[in-house]
């Protein structure tokens, strides 16, 4: 077997997520979130507290912006995400 290729690191200004507003006070629109914005919000001590043998349960719709933070936490710490 060949070794896997090294992980690719996206540019900090590359789009990581597109959120859509509900249009409550005006027309609905798309908002882009960059990898830099997303990682800045995720860089917190909690990442270091989850181990590879631990689980995180996401009991919420996965299409919301708050769930994106929940999803990224176990991915960054190599723990398991249960949905």
The CB-side HSE value for 67 (13 A sphere, CA atoms) comes to 12
How do beta strands 80-82 and 55-57 pair? parallel
pLDDT at residue number 14: 95
Distance CA 44, CA 29 (A): 29
Per the structure, the complete domain to which residue 51 belongs is given by 15-82
Q: Is residue 10 part of a domain?
A: no
Tell me whether residue 24 is in a domain. Answer: yes
* pLDDT of 76 above 80: no
Residue 9 lies in a domain: no
pLDDT tens digits for range 10-65: 899 999 888 888 878 888 888 898 988 877 766 654 556 777 788 878 777 777 77
């Amino acid at each position: 077997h060949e070794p896997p290729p090294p992980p690719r690191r996206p540019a900090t200004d590359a789009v990581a997520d597109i959120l859509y507003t509900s249009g409550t006070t005006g027309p609905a629109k798309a908002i882009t979130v960059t990898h830099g914005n997303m990682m800045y919000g995720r860089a917190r001590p909690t990442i270091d507290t989850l181990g590879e043998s631990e689980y995180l349960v996401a009991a919420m719709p996965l299409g919301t912006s708050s769930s994106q933070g929940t999803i990224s936490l176990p991915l960054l710490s190599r723990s398991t995400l249960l949905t």
